[in-house]
A = this chain, B = another copy of it.
């Protein structure tokens, strides 16, 4: 290529990267020769020399197939894309390789990583921390030394629980997130634990308690904890499990809208009416939460904003190098009451008689 235009390869490099360093005639000659030969600078070689890949990775703990079954993910990617598109940075999905997140991360062609859905005790986390690549954690606690973007899980969950409590629900199922169907959920760390704590607080239960008389003394509360994968099928499975239990709870709180939607679909198949027979509260407020009938009552979190912040912090970390000061950002959550929650059948009369407002049946 260089020979063809009769110049050095330095000049070729200049022609593409710093056209002003070259006389216009020379530059045009090089570009003409390039066009004629169909030459294009090798993206890989350029990246090696520049020591920048202009790519960031989104690390997820499950297969692409499973992770994208949750509409949360595309929303997050949209937010990440808002920042990355503008900066000319490409986004790579980094699912585990042969089950190992660490292996995937070591091979990833990126300047930095956004970590999604990793529990703080994930075995591969140490490997990443010491890898030297820039990291931003999403929804992860105790991630010393790196940026963390999270949401106020406990507050949101607590609002959702308080809402159900006010409606008069006392027998409530909580559907946690099962990353692997057989692996038990860690109820002390991670996102499920934070939300569960919020739910207990919202019901006035002691930390760790699943049964109890709440503080106002208005009846025994019972929490049933189960966990399923985050997907429509997971939601259906949760409903099936509850049906096997014999008596259905009067309400369900899930950790994601897609699970709630699966529950609704399953309920429709079974002739269970929402919200008359069963109230449902989701989490996330994905767009599809407004597409169901009734529309889904859910705990809103700013998904796209989360993606934007994560991408922004990561790019900043990459650019500023070692003098980057990591921060922890906690974005707000809020309960969005729509159509899938109502008073349970038995309590209905009581609630009505009080004339609405904050209800303490």
Contacts and interface: CB of A to CB of B under 8 A. Distances in A.
Interface residues of A, number: 55
A68 B81 contact: yes
Given A44-B109, A288-B291, A95 B74 contact: no
B63 A85 contact: yes
- Total identical chains: 2
Interface string A85-106: 1001011111101100000001
Contacts of A98: 88
Interface in A320-349: none
Interface stretch (A46-54, A115-123, A151-159, A215-223): A46-54
Nearest to A76: B68
Contacts of A130: 38
Contact of A265 (B43, B93, B290): B290
A94 B90 contact: yes
A26 B208 CA distance: 52
Given A64-B82, A65-B85, A288-B291, 16 more contacts: A53-B109, A63-B85, A64-B77, A64-B91, A68-B75, A71-B71, A71-B74, A74-B74, A81-B95, A88-B97, A88-B107, A92-B93, A109-B109, A265-B290, A291-B291, A291-B292
Interface of A: 38, 40, 42-45, 47-48, 51, 53-55, 57, 63-65, 68-69, 71, 73-75, 77-78, 80-82, 84-85, 88, 90-95, 97-98, 106-109, 130-132, 232, 261, 264-265, 287-288, 290-293
